[in-house]
Amino acid sequence: MQFGFLGVNYKDAQLAVRDKTSFTDAMKLAFFQKAEIVGIEQCMVLSTCNRSEVFYFYVQEIQTVRIRKIYEGMFPQVDLSGYLQVLDGEEAMAYLFRIAAGLESLVLGEDQILGQVKEALDYARTMGYSGKELNKVVRDAVTCAKRIKTELKISEKPLSASYVGICRLKEHCGIAGKRVLVIGSGKTAALALRYLYEYQAGHVVACSRTYAHARRLREEFPETEIISYEERYDVMRACDIVVSATASPHLVVRREEFTPQKPITFLDLAAPRDVDTDFEKEPLVDLINLDTLQEIVFKNRQERERLVEESRQFIEDGVKETLVWLLQSRMDATIESLQQRCGAIVEDSYAYLNRKMELGQREQKLLKKVLHASLQRLLREPIRELKRLDTEEEQEEYRRMVGQLFRI
């Protein structure tokens, strides 16, 4: 039995292609059913905005060609000849381990993919298309990913300037309970608001040049007070923190229009700048802008890349352990047959002796235990040797030999 992978992802396929190769739950089930017809009983589909990929176990080499045709047939409107990737065996398994750890993600080391992998397996298992082998491989990949995240903490090196900026605020002046003004209403401003609430900001006020745009923020952040853009300086005087993230080509916070009366921290997430750099000369003001943040982001990216290299050993070890388990599990049916044969002999011998001897209930239990233990002792070493076989050829040879010797 061989492990395989095929699919498209953001590295080779543009978004327009990925959009057309996305699997719905109904399509996943249809894919499972078609794959089962060609003998692939264990299969998992991982479909996200960045990837549309299938992991499966197959028996014959020709089934790789067949499953590729099934995949392409699911998306007849797309020419996948230049995008579809196929991997087999250890390469395919190592790829799944890297995916689970976020090492194949657009944002290196991100955490969301781990949950998506678990959901993909859960759906395959619920639909009846995941067996012990696929369950084992995915569980081991998830375990390895968790170990990498726990020990190396790759995802704790933020790559978002917004998040880095909020973290700097938290370290520098604290966020919990503080009065905050957010200027802007785009994605960056919304992301900043999310992080501010995550760190328990107190009263949060938002404004934008277009009042209607600012009001839309309340759909996600209903507790946010919305003010007009012209009121920003008045509100700023009572604030501890100002976060500005607009797309304006001009300054939106000018030094000549605002004189702080108490300590205040500006976080300028805009390019070009929103906040006048003359504030750096003001003793009551701390100014954090993208120059500082981008330097931190760059260092974090370098650190993530270093940790990725360090994580390769974790993955290599994890894949090897899983491959050993898969190899040994191929003898499970033979070992189980041996043990069933042993059980049958115990029952026959016990029934004969019990008829010939007058035994009490205690002696009957003892006799059965002794018979069972004696035969298990005889089989212990042969079973260990069967588990140590390290090639499929040896396994097949011993499987036939055991079948002939024990008539199983």
* Catalytic center residues: 49
Side by side, which strands form the sheet with 241-244? Answer: 225-226, 204-207, 180-183, 241-244, 264-268, 285-288
- For 361-402, the three-class secondary structure string (H helix, E strand, C coil) is HHHHHHHHHHHHHHHHHHHHHHHHHHHHCCCHHHHHHHHHHH
| Radius of gyration for the alpha carbons in the chain, expressed in angstroms and rounded | 31
Among positive and negative, which fits the CA dihedral 371, 376, 382, 383? positive
Across-strand partners of 404? none
> 260: cis peptide before it, omega within 30°?
no
Residue 277 tokens read as: 């750099």
User: What's phi and psi for 259, nearest 5 deg?
Assistant: -115, 110
Place of tokens 């923190």: 241
Which residues are CB-contacts of 186 (< 8 A; sequence separation ≥ 6)?
245, 246, 247
Across-strand partners of 58? 2
- For residues 74 and 129, the answer to whether their CB atoms sit within 8 Å is no
Place of tokens 């309970």: 177
DSSP run (H or E) holding 267 = strand 264-268
Residue 70 tokens read as: 């099934």
